[in-house]
Structure 1
Amino acid sequence: MTQALGRGMRDEIEPYADEIGNFLVRLQRVRERTIAHAKSTDGIDPAAYGCLFRLLKDGPMRSGALAESMYTDPSTVSRQVAQLVERGHVQRQADPTDGRASVLAVTESGRAAAGRIRALRNERLGMMLGEWSIEDLQDFARLMDRFVTDYERMRPLFSPERSLRSETDAERSLRSETDAERSLPSDSGSERGVR
């Protein structure tokens, strides 16, 4: 049975949230070490391939839109795209909606590079997950999709400036919502403000 948390974290959820948070920290450390040692053979920063895969998935787009979709700043995307353009994996084309601007589009070379990277990634994941049952893989894929979707939706709550604020901001926001609900007239005899 799925229970919504509502406005606060229930006591029974907190240990799981803590454990999942620790798993995410471990995963991030391993990924950072792996990426640091896994400079691609063509000299492109592995993070730049995230831009390539995003362009493959979503199609040509302006650099600013790419940065937004990658949850990063435009200067970072600009450096990564420059590497991809230099290697011939991405090209700039006139924006069909505004000829003065340009969009980034994947080239055939970029498609081939992405295919090689995807095949290697899938081979390595296959080796890692080879002993999992199909049912476990299906459950994991479903739950991972749900987790990532929810994480993307809640991403603003995890921003560094937000985490540095005291919880009183959240408490004040919650109190304002509660006070607003209490000020509403009750309907059909129920008392809205009573919890």
Structure 2
Amino acid sequence: MTTDDRTPDELLDAIGPAFGKLRRGVLQEVENPISAKDSTRALVLGLVLGCSRDSGEEMTVGGIAASMCVDPSVASRMVTDSIKSGYLLRVPSQLDGRRAVLELSPQGEEFMRDFRRRQRAAFEYITAEWPEADRLDFARLMLRYVDAIEGLKDRENGNGLRAAIEDA
């Protein structure tokens, strides 16, 4: 059965498993693969980069742990790896000098530029046989989806997802 042959319910039921497949190393299956270690580093660096650019807030190891839903010791190991690799710096907080916060080093910024180029190349490789209009539509819809996820914290009912699951 192709995607086009599925009913609306079948399509919507297939979304969760499809997202699961995306998380399981799709960037390792392309022409110029991205290693699992680089993917993990990019997750950490992306959180630091997004926090400082988007909100002007500061990112800590605890913030990394909370954002990634991992134990603080796991986040600490990830951060330490990125620091040892030269991609992250631990610096004094500008808001509270007793705290250490994270920021990207120049090497970390270059790593992220390269990672983004590789992500785009992977997308183009995976969708090479798609019509250009489909590629751009998918990109627009994916960005819209991510924006909606970001907007969840602004919704009035903080239990919206929980309520939607219970209603299903």
Whether these two folds match at TM > 0.5 is: yes
Q: Which has the higher helix share?
A: 2
- Calculate the TM-score normalised by the size of structure 1: 0.59
Question: 1:58 is matched with which residue: 51, 58, 74?
Answer: 51
Cα shift readout 1:130-169 (whole Å, capped 9, x = no counterpart): 3433321232122223434556748964xxxxxxxxx9xx
- Matched residue SS, 1:105: strand
Cα RMSD for the two superposed structures? 3.3
Q: 2-side partners of 1:121 and 1:17: how far apart? A: 26
Question: In the alignment, which residue of structure 1 is the partner of 2:100?
Answer: 102
Q: 1:127 to 1:53 in 2, by over 3 A?
A: same
Q: 1:80 to 1:156 in 2, by over 3 A?
A: farther
Question: 1:19 is matched with which residue: 14, 21, 35?
Answer: 14
Q: CA deviation at 1:33?
A: 6.8
Q: 2-side partners of 1:14 and 1:80: how far apart? A: 39
Q: 2-side partners of 1:103 and 1:53: how far apart? A: 15
Q: 1:92 to 1:39 in 2, by over 3 A?
A: same
Provide structure 2 residue ranges, at least 5 long, that are not aligned to the other structure.
1-6, 53-57, 153-158
Cα shift readout 1:42-71 (whole Å, capped 9, x = no counterpart): xx4531221112222222422222333334
Question: In the alignment, which residue of structure 2 is the partner of 1:162?
Answer: none
Structure with larger RCO (C-alpha < 8 A, sep 6+): 2
Provide structure 1 residue ranges, at least 5 long, that are not aligned to the other structure.
1-11, 158-166, 175-195
Q: Count residues with an aligned counterpart.
A: 145
